[in-house]
Structure 1
Amino acid sequence: MIENPALARSHDRLAAFLETFPLTAVPCEKVGQANLLIVGSSTERQPTEILFRPRVVPDLPEAKVMLAGTTVDFGGSINPLVGALPEEITLPLAEEPHLAALAVLVIDETERRRCGSAAIRERLAEVVVVLAIRRAIAAGTVNAGLLMGLAHPKLHSSLVAMHDAPARRWRIEELAAIAGMGRSRFICEFATTVGTTPVSYLNGWRLTLGRVRLRAGKSVKATAASVGFGSAASFSRAYSRHFGHPPSESREAKGG
């Protein structure tokens, strides 16, 4: 059976984030610089777990040692998914045999330094990060927010729809239908789970995309149209309220 790419995309909770915020991974040798670490005991030097901290660089207990490390950038504070992830994602390799095999390969490429080792380590690190985020989404969270919404068996479909088509003039009834709910239940469930209303969430996502496109050098007018605003003026007002500064400042900061 051949899977319909459009249908597969409609259920992919990470696709829009990976397209909007390119995931980059750079191998590094120092614990204080890596936020994705393959960790082992200081005595046996065998990989026991993978540690990913999306927003901070971790220190390690004395009993553990970094066997391979990577500095991962997934858009930083601009990416709402990064902000929603837990401070630390730990992947015990005893429970994840496929990751254990990846960890061994990364360590081998780190130690032997053959042609193309850096590129292999970068690609493997990207795979590991996506798998770690998948696990975080599957685990959900006890706190309302994006992660809890993406983990929700019904609401995640409406979130994916908004992420994939931000410029569309979404009606609550359409989003509720995508989630398989009635209008009133959808509004209530969305607010309880995500922590905001569907309209507010969509507006925030549009403005976040706008910020990314402004930093890429797009004009305010073109950006406004691409994220669903009727005019540059309405986009600028909403942008200033949301971020505390006008769009022009984001364009000027595109190189920073």
Structure 2
Amino acid sequence: MIESPKILPKVDRLSAFFDTFELEASLEPPRTSDSRARLFMVGEPGCPVERIILRPRGDVAREPKVLMTAAADFEGEHNPLMNALPDRVVVDVNDIPTLRDTTAAFVAEALESRCGRSAALNRLCEVIVLLILRSAIDRGTTEPGLLAGLSHPLLHRALVAMHDQPSRAWNSDHLAATAGMSRSHFMALFRDVVGTTPQAYLTGWRLILARRKLAKGAKVKAVARQVGFGSAAAFSRAFFRKFGDWPSVRS
């Protein structure tokens, strides 16, 4: 019997990443040792930006007709969404009116030394990165991973649920129901599309959140509870398996 897909509304696939990871922008010249993401504003001299090229892993290779380059630190080393992106993402700003207008405002701020310039660049860059990520999710990918999962019309609901409620005692039945699928179909499809099991993904997300909390001074027992582990001992073992050291406030 063929399972009929349920029509469910999409949910916000990006908020958890912007709530969790901090983004800062600057117009510093590119350096080969710099791992921050790069935004290349491309177009003809004296004309509006035509395309934006995002290199999420800090590749400083030259792009043709670059009008301006910005560095965007979105904690790429720890941010699983940035790690899921291809090495080069190209977006035509004229295809997205909001991106076109935001990019124009970013360039205007960058060219002038007005009060609040740094804050304005950070806010505008955050919107630019968000719109590029939204475009990348909408386009999807054939490679298994987080980006493919977020692009999937049903699986993204389970991923968002894990992102938004990491401390909940999720099991496969709960997640399958959230995605509007049978358990067997959900488990097989999740592995094919995301490249891992739902529980393995959930554990990884919890540990990413935990490391950030520890780095800000939170206690191990409190963090274990906040991110959904049954005990500090279970949390510590999982943390060691993923990161190679034991959790502490310096993690």
What is the aligned length?
A: 239
Note if contact 1:31-1:66 (Cα within 8 Å) is conserved in structure 2.
Answer: no
Note if contact 1:221-1:231 (Cα within 8 Å) is conserved in structure 2.
Answer: yes
Indicate the SS of the match to 1:247: coil
Alignment of 1:157-176 (within 5 A): 157-176=157-176
Q: TM-score, normalised by structure 1?
A: 0.86
| Aligned partner letter, 1:30 | P
Match of 1:129 in 2: 129
Alignment of 1:223-242 (within 5 A): 223-242=223-242
Match of 2:4 in 1: none
- Extract unaligned runs of 5+ from structure 2: 1-8
Looking at structure 2, the residues matched to 162 and 93 of structure 1 have their Cα atoms a distance apart, in angstroms, of 32
| Aligned partner letter, 1:147 | L
Alignment of 1:49-198 (within 5 A): 49-61=51-63, 63-67=64-68, 69-198=69-198
| Aligned partner letter, 2:21 | F
Indicate the SS of the match to 2:53: strand
Match of 2:250 in 1: 252
Indicate the SS of the match to 1:70: strand
Looking at structure 2, the residues matched to 88 and 170 of structure 1 have their Cα atoms a distance apart, in angstroms, of 34
Match of 1:30 in 2: 29
| 1:205 to partner: Cα distance | 1.0
| 1:113 to partner: Cα distance | 2.1
More helix by share: 1
Note if contact 1:45-1:65 (Cα within 8 Å) is conserved in structure 2.
Answer: no
Note if contact 1:157-1:178 (Cα within 8 Å) is conserved in structure 2.
Answer: yes
Tell me whether 87-96 or 29-38 shows the greater mean CA deviation: 29-38
Looking at structure 2, the residues matched to 202 and 155 of structure 1 have their Cα atoms a distance apart, in angstroms, of 13
Indicate the SS of the match to 1:35: strand
| Aligned partner letter, 2:81 | L
State the identity %: 46
| Aligned partner letter, 1:138 | D
User: Considering only aligned residues, what root-mean-square deviation do their CA atoms show, in Å?
Assistant: 2.0
| 1:105 to partner: Cα distance | 2.1
- Extract unaligned runs of 5+ from structure 1: 1-7
Is residue 39 of structure 1 aligned with residue 42 of structure 2? yes
Looking at structure 2, the residues matched to 98 and 124 of structure 1 have their Cα atoms a distance apart, in angstroms, of 11
Indicate the SS of the match to 1:77: coil
| 1:31 to partner: Cα distance | 4.3
Match of 1:201 in 2: 201
Tell me whether 123-132 or 45-54 shows the greater mean CA deviation: 45-54
| 1:87 to partner: Cα distance | 1.2
